A = this chain, B = another copy of it.
Amino acid sequence: METRTLTARTPADGAQAAGRDIPEATVARLPEYLRALTALAERGIGTCSSDELAAAVNVNSAKLRKDLSYLGSYGTRGVGYDVDYLSYQIAREIGLMQDWPVVIVGIGNLGHALANYAGFGSRGFRVVALLDAAPELVDETVGGLVVRPFDDLEAVVADGPVAIGVIATPAGAAQEVVDRLVAAGITSILNFAPTTLAVPAGVSVRKVDLSIELQILAFHEQRKGSPVVQPLAREASA
């Protein structure tokens, strides 16, 4: 592992082809692996096994190894994974070697919190504009940026590329907003508004939905029943 270099792969090498078509479930876990690796690196740990990393993320180690196998062969049998090297490979795979300009639409309570969220920039997600339709919010400074009218959207996009649009408006406005974002050429949307969005093919939408998460918890809480609080009493997940 100490002599690892980023050698060019031959066509016969499987690892290159492995770059293609990563399962969606795997993609969703890569950021968690990366986060756990970053925490290990901060603790000065240079190497870890799949068992150790899997434990940190609460997944089966076979699943972890299978996930990583879609990226290539970045471990060393009998030894484990080099924390920095694996971090680099995952970051590259996710696309974190470049900057991702973000606009936030809707600067209410949530939009404020998002604009002030420090971790936002940490991974190359750079907030380039805050937009709101309400005149009383425009020109306010939030998280170091001046709120602009939503109608400035096209000007913002003309000024420089925008990769991701974050929707933090009320549900009623969200479809209109996403239509404008898509028309302006933005193809990735993160939706905090509690409503389903319709978008053309080729546009990715992820949603973050507090109310749905609470309802899922309520469902399971209800099923637990009052007396039977612990289904499988003894075992504790480390």
With known contacts A31-B211, A56-B196, A187–B219 Cβ distance under 8 A: no
Q: B-facing mask of A26-37, CB < 8 A → 1, else 0?
A: 011011101110
A155 contacts partner chain B, Cβ-Cβ < 8 Å: no
Q: B-facing mask of A125-139, CB < 8 A → 1, else 0?
A: 100000000000000
With known contacts A109-B116, A163-B221, A233-B202, A123–B187 Cβ distance under 8 A: no
A208 contacts partner chain B, Cβ-Cβ < 8 Å: yes
Q: B-facing mask of A195-226, CB < 8 A → 1, else 0?
A: 11011111010101011111111111110100
**A189: chain B residues within 8 A (beta carbon):** 217
With known contacts A32-B196, A230-B202, A190–B163 Cβ distance under 8 A: no
**Contacts of A98-136 to chain B: CB distance below 8 A:** 98, 100, 102, 109-110, 112-114, 116-117, 119-120, 122-125
Residues of A within 8 A of B (CB): 27-28, 30-32, 34-36, 39, 56-58, 93-96, 98, 100, 102, 109-110, 112-114, 116-117, 119-120, 122-125, 163-164, 185, 187-190, 194-196, 198-202, 204, 206, 208, 210-222, 224, 229-238
23 A-B contact pairs sorted by A residue (CB < 8 Å): A30-B219, A31-B212, A32-B196, A35-B194, A57-B196, A94-B215, A95-B219, A98-B222, A102-B214, A109-B112, A109-B113, A112-B113, A119-B211, A120-B211, A123-B214, A125-B211, A163-B217, A185-B229, A188-B217, A190-B214, A201-B233, A202-B224, A202-B231
